A and B are shown apart, each in its own frame.
Chain A
Amino acid sequence: DTEVTQTPKHLVMGMTNKKSLKCEQHMGHRAMYWYKQKAKKPPELMFVYSYEKLSINESVPSRFSPECPNSSLLNLHLHALQPEDSALYLCASSRLIGDTQYFGPGTRLTVL
């Protein structure tokens, strides 16, 4: 299995909702990443996990809360988001930090 999967594909939520994005890979990769991508812009790094521990937090607001329950799963918990948080959220994984990253298809998030 050489794929990174993400669910849901699309998500519409209100500013008071709580939702979660999920990412899964079965390539044995020990590094996983969350990126945010706005329209016509390159992806911006949000979080990096290495061996299930948070390694990098790119000054992301606390309304985004990552979680890595095991080496195959990465979640992004969302609470009290703003309309400007609407974007494509991409998950990626790599064998180790510093290796080539493989991206999932993304979750298209719309905050009303």
Chain B
Amino acid sequence: EDKVVQSPLSLVVHEGDTVTLNCSYEVTNFRSLLWYKQEKKAPTFLFMLTSSGIEKKSGRLSSILDKKELFSILNITATQTGDSAVYLCAVRGASGSRLTFGEGTQLTVNP
């Protein structure tokens, strides 16, 4: 059974701080790992990672995958209150279409 574990489950920081969110996984025939940001509405796609060691970057957010150690990290620099959300990590394995989600990290950025 595919498994995704995220840590920490909850994180409270001040504006301007840098945060690192972790995602470790066990999946049969790994295909891709995705990061989503979920506020009050539906998840918003952030990154899809398929290759080890290649950093994906979008503004203050970046992510990298380590397929040998089976984990990914999501970095957010110079955090803003608008970054407050649940960050979800999901993996896709042999089944192709099925995404297995982690429990998510609840990030709160205080002014």
Instruction: Flag whether B53 is at the interface (Cβ < 8 A).
Output: no
In whole angstroms, how far apart are the Cα atoms of A48 and B99 in the complex? 11
- Residues of chain A with a CB closer than 8 A to B95's CB: 56
Count A interface residues, CB 8 Å.
Answer: 21
* A56 cross-chain contacts in B, Cβ below 8 A: 95, 97-98
Taking a contact as CB atoms closer than 8 A, the residue among A31, A58, A98, A101 that contacts B45 in the complex is A101
Within 8 A of B (CB), among A78-112: 90, 97-98, 100-106
Q: Which of A41, A45, A55, A101 contacts B103 (CB 8 A)?
A: A41
Q: 1/0 per position for B1-35, CB-CB distance to A under 8 A?
A: 00000000000000000000000000000010010
Query: Chain A residues in contact with chain B, CB under 8 A?
Result: 31, 33, 41-43, 45, 48, 50, 55-56, 58, 90, 97-98, 100-106
